[in-house]
């Protein structure tokens, strides 16, 4: 989500918008403009979409504020073309908490729909529902109908919809979290398949949604399996210890020589034995073009995230995740003792998965 841009900050939580959201607005403007054949129709389509996404922000805040009650902070809320996503700092541990956090969003959406309904009734603006659809009718009533659609859609038992999390919480109450996730993810992919099939014959937008659901279900299951494979593993297990290093006075030519002579891609920079930064492969290649081979490493190196050997790998990766670094320096008593790279971690996961397959009892 690093390319999303920040829209606002509500209740201490940053609200981001994914760039593809702009494409959706253009699509809505063009299609409602074509339908109504006026600029006004296009503007109304866009206004309706913005109102709906305002409702989605409130829905996501519902999740975030319920999570806060259980002591879980929310990193940010991102608006995607298929809806919103609140990124919780961690998942609730108890199934009942996940259940309540997952239901808090739909509860907000239901509240919005009921409020709009009551308001329309009291003000006498209510029109028969058969004259209304998401693309046709009085504005407030359209927003209400959209919220009802959002509510029903969100309760589909498929990741990343809330119904998927409710389903997992219910499964997890009976079995472990990993199996519950894997089972909920395959149910979600089954539903995505059906959605795509229905969409092929009715609405192509459904096919796009089904595609997102399919991917999200797979990613959710993979992330949970990865977390569980790494649970309890210390940083020391995954770090490489045979390291090539540079000093601030080294030249880019020295770095190129190291890069070509082995498999290491990112090079810690040491000054009198102390870590002062890192020169990544990407940075090196960019700097070669702009600064030439004889430039010193010192002014070009970047800050390097660090870890200690005894720290647990999984929370460390979560902590570093947001910084977009591929390498983490492992430091003990002020000395560099190793380097963890995302490739190392990938290899470790493969080794552990293979070891587990071989450990299947032969009886």
Residues that bind Zn ion (CB under 5 A): 105, 162
Least Å distance between CB 162 and Zn ion? 4
> Is the Cβ of residue 105 or residue 157 nearer to Zn ion in the bound state?
105
> Is the Cβ of residue 66 or residue 185 nearer to Zn ion in the bound state?
66
Beta-carbon contacts of residue 80 (< 8 Å; ≥ 6 apart):
18, 20, 21, 212
Alpha helices, DSSP H only, in the chain? 20-36, 39-69, 95-123, 139-154, 162-172, 177-201, 204-230, 235-238, 252-261, 281-291, 313-321, 342-358
> Is the Cβ of residue 32 or residue 181 nearer to Zn ion in the bound state?
181
> Is the Cβ of residue 164 or residue 268 nearer to Zn ion in the bound state?
164
Least Å distance between CB 13 and Zn ion? 14
Least Å distance between CB 113 and Zn ion? 14
> Is the Cβ of residue 76 or residue 162 nearer to Zn ion in the bound state?
162
∠ CA 269-275-277, rounded to 5°: 50
Least Å distance between CB 30 and Zn ion? 28
Using CB atoms, what's the residue nearest to Zn ion? 105
CB 178 within 8 A of CB 225: yes
Q: From CA 214, how far away is CA 186, in angstroms rounded?
A: 9
Buried/exposed 247-279: b ≥16 CB within 10 Å, e otherwise? ebebbbebbeebbeeeebbbbbbbeeeebbbbb
Least Å distance between CB 139 and Zn ion? 24
> Is the Cβ of residue 155 or residue 235 nearer to Zn ion in the bound state?
155
Q: From CA 39, how far away is CA 27, in angstroms rounded?
A: 14
Least Å distance between CB 137 and Zn ion? 25
Q: From CA 13, how far away is CA 62, in angstroms rounded?
A: 12
């Amino acid at each position: 989500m690093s390319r999303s841009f920040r829209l606002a900050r509500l209740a201490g939580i940053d609200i981001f918008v994914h760039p593809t959201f702009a494409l959706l607005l253009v699509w809505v403007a063009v299609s409602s403009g074509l339908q109504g054949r006026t600029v006004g129709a296009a503007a109304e389509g866009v206004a309706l979409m913005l109102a709906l996404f305002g409702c989605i922000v409130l829905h996501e805040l519902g999740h975030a504020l319920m999570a806060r009650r259980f002591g879980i902070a929310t990193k940010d809320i991102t608006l995607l073309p298929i809806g919103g996503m609140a990124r919780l700092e961690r998942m609730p541990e108890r199934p009942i908490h996940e259940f309540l956090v997952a239901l808090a969003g739909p509860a907000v959406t239901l509240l919005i729909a009921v409020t709009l309904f009551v308001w329309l009734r009291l003000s006498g603006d209510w029109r028969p529902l058969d004259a209304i659809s998401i693309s046709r009718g009085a504005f407030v009533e359209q927003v209400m109908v959209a919220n009802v659609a959002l509510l029903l859609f969100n309760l589909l038992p498929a990741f990343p919809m809330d119904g998927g999390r409710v389903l997992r919480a219910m499964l997890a109450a009976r079995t472990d979290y990993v199996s519950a996730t894997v089972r909920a993810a395959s149910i979600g992919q089954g539903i995505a398949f059906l959605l795509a099939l229905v969409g092929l014959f009715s609405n192509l937008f459904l096919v796009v949604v089904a595609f997102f659901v399919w991917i999200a279900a797979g990613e959710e299951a993979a992330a949970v399996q990865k977390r569980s494979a790494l649970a309890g593993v210390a940083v020391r297990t995954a770090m490489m210890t045979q390291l090539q290093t540079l000093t601030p006075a080294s030249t880019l030519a020295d770095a190129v020589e190291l890069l070509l002579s082995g498999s290491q891609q990112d090079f810690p920079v040491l000054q009198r034995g102390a870590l002062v930064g890192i020169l990544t492969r990407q940075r090196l290649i960019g700097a070669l073009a702009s600064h030439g081979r004889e430039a010193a490493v010192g002014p070009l190196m970047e800050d390097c995230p660090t870890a200690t050997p005894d720290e647990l790998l999984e929370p460390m990766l979560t902590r570093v995740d947001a910084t977009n670094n591929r390498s983490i320096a492992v430091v003990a008593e002020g000395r560099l003792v190793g380097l963890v790279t995302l490739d190392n971690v990938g290899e470790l996961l493969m080794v552990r998965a293979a070891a587990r397959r071989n450990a299947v009892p032969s009886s």
